[in-house]
Amino acid sequence: MELSRRIENYWDERSENFSKTRRLELDGIDAIAWKNILKKSLPESKNPLKILDIGTGAGFFAAILAKMGHKVVGIDMSSKMLCEAEKNLREMNLSAEFYKMNAQNLNFFADETFDAIVTRNLTWTLPDVKAAYREWRRILKIGGVLMNFDSDYGDKNFLDEKTCSKGEICNKMLVECDFIKNSLAISTKRRPKWDKIFLEDLNFIVRLDEDISHAVHKDSRCFYDSVPLFAIYATK
């Protein structure tokens, strides 16, 4: 419980600056690249899809998907991040539902509720990624797709400028980030290969792209660290 509280507080503290970066991103060239990546891997349907954005943060994916006409539910454990998400979508005249929720416990949703699940920069901060993946599979419809975009931060040091540019994050927050990372079991795994093996054990069909940074990190106005961003596309 103490670790979960520290993770929540960490994202609360980062929410305002994080949101500013995401708004820049939404208004620039990288958002177009993200839209194309999402559209390419979403299930085919004549009707709007029901999509869960896990760890929605400032509502970046929620905004892109809502603009595409889909029905989006965004969840996050940070109340301040959710406030930023609601504000950002309201200002863009877009609609999505947002809930404060733990990504590892989604009992609020019935089995096979969603056509797709998207998540970005989240799983590296989860205390129990295995439990999360099981829950995410449960609420996906047959043929539904999980898209997980994340980085292998486990063996990195956030205070090392060669690894992660500090950007808008102060030293105090980098120290806290390292503490959280070093406390998590997922940090001992090398990813995304570990994720692929575990998801295949859950009977997902998995495709990996081990670095999509070149496609979605082009906007010089935005803060991006130097650790490769991988993509996992897992179909139930």
185-231, pLDDT tens digit by residue?
Answer: 999 999 999 999 999 999 999 999 999 999 999 998 888 888 999 99
- Helix then strand count (H, E) for the chain reads 8, 7
Q: 105 Cβ partners below 8 Å, 6+ apart?
A: 131, 135
Residue 1 has pLDDT above 80, yes or no: no
* Cα–Cα distance for residue pair 10/59, rounded to 1 Å: 17
For 75-131, what is each residue's pLDDT tens digit? 999 999 999 999 999 999 999 999 999 999 999 999 999 999 999 999 999 999 999
| Residue 136 · residue 124 · CB < 8 Å | no
pLDDT of residue 168: 59
Residue 162 has pLDDT above 50, yes or no: no
What pTM value is reported for the model? 0.94
Q: What is the average pLDDT score of the chain? A: 93
Instruction: Quote the crossing angle between the two packed helices 193-201 and 129-139, to the nearest 10°.
Output: 50
Share of the chain above pLDDT 70, in %: 95
Identify the band that residue 177 occupies on the pLDDT scale cut at 50, 70 and 90: confident
